Amino acid sequence: MNTSSKEKTTPNIDLEKIYLFLDCPRCFYLDISLNLPRPSSQNPNLNMYIETLLKEEFDIHRVKDIAHPLMKTYNINAEPMMPEKMEEFRENLRLGMNCNLPGVDLTISGKLDDLWINSKGEIVVVDYHNVPLYNEFSFDMNSIINQSKKIEIYQWLFRQNNFKTTSESYYIYCTGYNDKEAFDGKLEFDVKIIPYTGDDTWVEKTIKEIHNTLRNSQPPESQKNCKYCNYRSLADTSKTKKAIKPLQYIQKEPEVNKTTYEVIIYEQDPQVTALFGDAFRDETIIDSFDQEKGHQVFNYEISCVDSWETLTMQVQRKFYH
């Protein structure tokens, strides 16, 4: 089996980027096309460790060609995919599997947790998942499923590559107990298997939209409900161009020439106020509010700025990162 694309010219989209596109096409475009990713605030070390342990535990039973005890507990009529095949699927997904859509030149990559084979010889997609600590194993299943489309994307991708794949799948959920009297240097977990029937009818349309978005020379419109778009829109060139004008040429040191820009922030434009209040926080030389004129004034020094375009590019680059 070789369903991955070796051509360097074929764009590869990671599964996480598909989630990003579903959340906000503009943020997706800025990330993929302009290398301007969203700031990351996640610390997945513990989650990754737990998922690794689950993978290793199920792989032990896979090598022995026996079902995991949890599969027996939940009366699941399936067996773990054979080790060689499992590693082949994982490697192909790591490199990127072809979408096999006419007119769409994309591969999709991701981290595959597990695959089982049911009594009909069909692939069963399995996803490991961690949830926060609870006194009891309780959660809103709908909200969790809505956050992750991994199973459905994999089901669609395998079918596109002519693998018999069932819509029946499973989440293996692991949650820690928080009702223990003492920590004692260890965490105890409860593991459950939750059945889920996937619906991949949305995937093909989404992949085509991703393909078309990446072919555009301009990013999609900002999303009103995207906090990142609202933040980034403050650095739009049209706004910064109105707000910045050259003040004067100065020479702070004989060997260093710099240009100082006067940044005028008007009260009636709170978005621009927010932009420069943050973007120039570290470099602000003068921070004053002119009550009579009704605007704030910042003096900002940038080396080797020769045009509006250069200045706004620097502002955007600083603001995005």
- The helices-and-strands tally (H runs, E runs) of the chain is 12, 12
* pLDDT at residue 260, as a whole number: 42
Is the backbone of residue 266 left (phi > 0), alpha (psi -120 to 50) or beta?
beta
pLDDT top residue among 259 and 218: 218
* pLDDT at residue 284, as a whole number: 36
Whether residue 221 lies inside any domain: the answer is no
pLDDT exceeds 90 at position 295? no
pLDDT exceeds 90 at position 218? no
Whether residue 4 lies inside any domain: the answer is no
In the numeric block, the tokens 């590693």 are attached to 87
**316 with 278: CB under 8 angstroms?**
no
Contacts of 43 (CB under 8 A, 6+ apart): none
Q: Check whether residue 159 and residue 276 sit in a common domain.
A: no
Q: Check whether residue 209 and residue 134 sit in a common domain.
A: yes
To the nearest whole number, what is the mean pLDDT of the chain?
71
What does the radius of gyration of the chain's CA atoms come to, in whole angstroms? 26
- Determine the angle formed by the axes of helices 45-63 and 83-95, rounding to 10 degrees: 140
- CA distance linking residue 204 with residue 102, whole number of Å: 11
pTM of the model: 0.66
Mean predicted confidence (pLDDT) in 188-213? 91
Q: What is the DSSP string of 12-52?
A: EEEHHHHHHHHH-HHHHHHHHHH--PPPP----HHHHHHHH
Q: Check whether residue 133 and residue 237 sit in a common domain.
A: no
* pLDDT at residue 22, as a whole number: 92
Number of domains in the chain: 2
Please say which residue of 148, 181, 215 terminates a domain. 215
Q: Check whether residue 243 and residue 210 sit in a common domain.
A: no
What are the pLDDT digits (tens) for 23-80?
Answer: 999 999 888 988 888 876 555 565 677 778 888 888 898 898 888 899 999 999 999 9
- Determine the angle formed by the axes of helices 15-23 and 25-34, rounding to 10 degrees: 140
Whether residue 220 lies inside any domain: the answer is no
Whether residue 271 lies inside any domain: the answer is yes
Q: Check whether residue 161 and residue 299 sit in a common domain.
A: no
Please say which residue of 215, 243, 266 terminates a domain. 215
Q: Check whether residue 41 and residue 148 sit in a common domain.
A: yes
Question: Cα separations (Å) of 281 from 28, 187, 313?
Answer: 27, 43, 17
Q: Check whether residue 178 and residue 200 sit in a common domain.
A: yes
Q: Check whether residue 64 and residue 196 sit in a common domain.
A: yes
pLDDT top residue among 316 and 209: 209
Q: Check whether residue 181 and residue 272 sit in a common domain.
A: no
What are the pLDDT digits (tens) for 126-159?
Answer: 998 776 544 444 555 554 555 568 999 999 999 9
Q: Check whether residue 203 and residue 286 sit in a common domain.
A: no
User: Which CATH number belongs to the domain containing residue 89 in this structure?
Assistant: 3.90.320
Which of 101, 102, 82, 84 has its CA nearest to residue 92? 84
Q: Check whether residue 293 and residue 192 sit in a common domain.
A: no
Tell me whether strands 244-253 and 189-197 are parallel, antiparallel or unpaired: unpaired
pLDDT exceeds 70 at position 272? no
Parent domain of 255: 227-320
- CA distance linking residue 188 with residue 6, whole number of Å: 43
Q: Check whether residue 133 and residue 195 sit in a common domain.
A: yes
